[in-house]
Structure formats: C-alpha cells, structure tokens
C-alpha cells in the first residue's frame, strides 16, 4: 500500500493507494508544531476508522510546501510505518521537464498537478488549483511544465475582507441566490463568487489564446466543485489530481530501481 501526502499550507490530504487505485482519501489541518507522535496517532486513527491495515504500507511519497513540516513527517513515517518517505524535490526525475527560471522556486504540488493533468487529459492543459492560493499551472502540448500564475485564495480574501472592515460580516463561500445581492451577506457572497469566477475565466481566456483552443482546463482543490458551474472555460474537475500525480511519480521511481 502506498500513502501519498499533499502537505499544503491549510490542509494535508492523505491518499491510500492499493494496486494503483485510490481507496481512501482523508484531510487533516496543517499544524506544523505537532510532534511526530501526534501525527502518527492521527494517522493510526484514520487507518482504524477506514479499516485499513497499517502494516501493509510499504511506501510513502510527499509533496510539501511547508518546509518546517518535512522533518516531522519524516520522523512520523519512520517511527510508525518503518519507511523513509520520498519527497518531491527539484532534482527528482518526475518525467516532466520544468521550464521555470529556477525550478527550486516552484511548489512541489504545482509540478505534480501538471504531471497528473498531462497524463490524464493530455496537453496543452492548465490546472486551476483552488486552495490557500489559486494556482494556475500550465503544461505544453509536449508535456513541459511552463509555469503559471499565483493569485490570492478565496479563504484569504474572505478573512481579509472581514478583518479589515468594521461592519462587514464573515461569510461562507457559496453560489448566491441571485446576481444582485439584496442584503450585505448576499452582496458579499455574490461579489466573491462571481469575482473569482471572473478572475479565473479572465486568466484562462488569455492562456487558451496563447496555447490554442485545444487547451484543457482542469479544476482541483477544495473549492473546485463550487466554482466550476460559474466558469466558461473549466471543463474538468478532479479533486484527487495531486494524489494521482504522486502515485504516478512513485510508480516511475519504482520502475527505475
């Protein structure tokens, strides 16, 4: 059994793969100051609830954008699963050229998303990852990671709006009942929903114009399913894209051994 971990700034998504198939997905809050034992106990509890056999884990692969967490997850893996995890690093041969000016700057999850999208949907393609930030990751028709864009995330924007204004309430992100809000909450929700839909479509329109009309646009991340209906260009949704990419890389690395 393979464990694939996508360690982001807000959440850690954990996928369990058996014979190449994702059998379980769980999500935990990212808490960098938790100890290896605390992470280990959480993992054991998740396995127990899912009725998975902890002893069957024979590999762990991690895409992390939280450097302080890396040593903690390594210690957890070695202590509770008796295996040293494989991290996605700039020098790792993942099977996709990274054409960033400095490949060390690009987040591990971004190149993994690009690889998974190209493998599943072909190229050219662009992944829109709606997480703490909104990342656009672009892959050429030849399977090259070209780069992309990073925008403020929906959650960050909601928190900023609430914390920097005296009278505006905190709201949840959802499709509004109508375009024109008739009260403050509905007005904020409409502005957020259609504002981010417009941001996403505005960038995708430019990307598709540059790469060609055959470009596939794929949404992933926590709010992907909410924003998809409002977009003119997002045609696919895959909430497990990063996990799938990690499993692909793991399989590639095992074949090279």
3-class DSSP state of 97: coil
- Burial pattern 18-31, b for ≥16 Cβ within 10 A else e, equals eeeeeebebebebe
Q: Whole-angstrom Cα distance, residue 191 to residue 7?
A: 30
Tokens for 77, please give them.
Answer: 């893996």
Q: Whole-angstrom Cα distance, residue 61 to residue 9?
A: 17
Select from 165, 115, 180, 105 the least CA-distant residue to 143: 115
The CB density around residue 177, as the number of other CB atoms within 10 Å, is 10
2-78-30-135 Cα dihedral, nearest 10 degrees: -50
Q: How far from chain centre, in Å, is Cα 203?
A: 19
Please identify which residue in the block is written with the tokens 């990852």. 129
Q: Whole-angstrom Cα distance, residue 30 to residue 43?
A: 13
19 in active site: no
Catalytic residue chosen out of the listed positions 6, 33, 109, 240? 109
Q: Whole-angstrom Cα distance, residue 216 to residue 70?
A: 33
Q: Whole-angstrom Cα distance, residue 102 to residue 110?
A: 14
The residues pairing with 104 across neighbouring beta strands, listed in sequence order, are none
- What is the CA angle 205-207-210, rounded to 5? 110
Q: Which residues are catalytic?
A: 109
């Amino acid at each position: 059994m393979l464990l694939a971990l996508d360690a982001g700034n807000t959440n850690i998504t954990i996928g369990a793969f058996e014979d190449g198939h994702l059998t379980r997905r769980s999500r935990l809050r990212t808490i960098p100051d938790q100890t290896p034992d605390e992470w280990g106990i959480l993992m054991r509890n998740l396995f127990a609830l899912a009725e998975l056999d902890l002893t069957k884990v024979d590999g762990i692969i991690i895409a992390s954008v939280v450097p302080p967490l890396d040593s903690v997850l390594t210690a957890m893996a070695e202590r509770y699963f008796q295996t040293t995890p494989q991290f996605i690093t700039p020098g790792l041969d993942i099977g996709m050229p990274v054409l960033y000016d400095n490949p060390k700057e690009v987040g591990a999850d971004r190149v993994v998303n690009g690889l998974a999208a190209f493998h599943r949907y072909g190229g050219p393609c662009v992944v829109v990852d709606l997480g703490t930030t909104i990342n656009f990751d672009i892959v050429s028709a030849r399977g090259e990671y070209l780069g992309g864009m990073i925008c403020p995330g929906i959650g960050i924007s909601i928190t900023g709006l609430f914390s920097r204004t005296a009278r505006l309430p905190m709201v949840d992100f959802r499709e509004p009942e109508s375009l024109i809000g008739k009260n403050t909450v509905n007005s904020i929700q409409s502005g957020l929903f259609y504002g981010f839909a417009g941001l996403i479509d505005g960038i995708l329109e430019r990307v598709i114009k540059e790469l060609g009309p055959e470009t596939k646009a794929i949404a992933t991340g926590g709010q992907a399913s909410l924003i998809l209906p409002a977009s003119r260009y997002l045609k696919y949704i895959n909430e497990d894209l990063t996990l799938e990419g990690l499993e692909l890389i793991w399989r590639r690395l095992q074949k090279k051994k």
